[in-house]
Amino acid sequence: MSALVIVARFASRPEAIIAQSLLRSEGIETLMPDFNVLMADFDPSMMEHGWRLLGREEDAAQIEAILRDAQLDPS
């Protein structure tokens, strides 16, 4: 089993969803652990570090290149 690492962070949920969709279209699966945060009970401190995408450690370099090429900065 591969280790999961944070491969990208985004300031907004829509931006993270677009990046995840782009990666999926390239055959790379990612997880967004914060996806189901209830917006009605949203606490800004929960998102202190942005919306995270997790991916397999061995895919990290490829993910960075794809997001950079799409101008969706993974940092």
* pLDDT tens-digit series, residues 17-48: 999 999 999 999 999 987 666 555 555 655 56
Confidence at residue 3, expressed as pLDDT on a 0 to 100 scale: 93
Decide: 60 and 21 in contact? Cβ < 8 Å.
no
pLDDT at 64 over 90: yes
Per-residue burial over 27-51, b = 16 or more CB atoms within 10 Å of its CB, e = otherwise: ebebebeeeeeeeeeeeeeebeebb
Confidence at residue 49, expressed as pLDDT on a 0 to 100 scale: 72
Confidence of residue 55 (pLDDT cuts 50, 70, 90): very high
Decide: 63 and 30 in contact? Cβ < 8 Å.
yes
Q: In this structure, what is the dihedral angle of CA atoms 33, 4, 30, 28, given to the nearest 10 degrees? A: 180
How far apart are the C-alpha atoms of 39 and 60, rounded to whole Å? 29
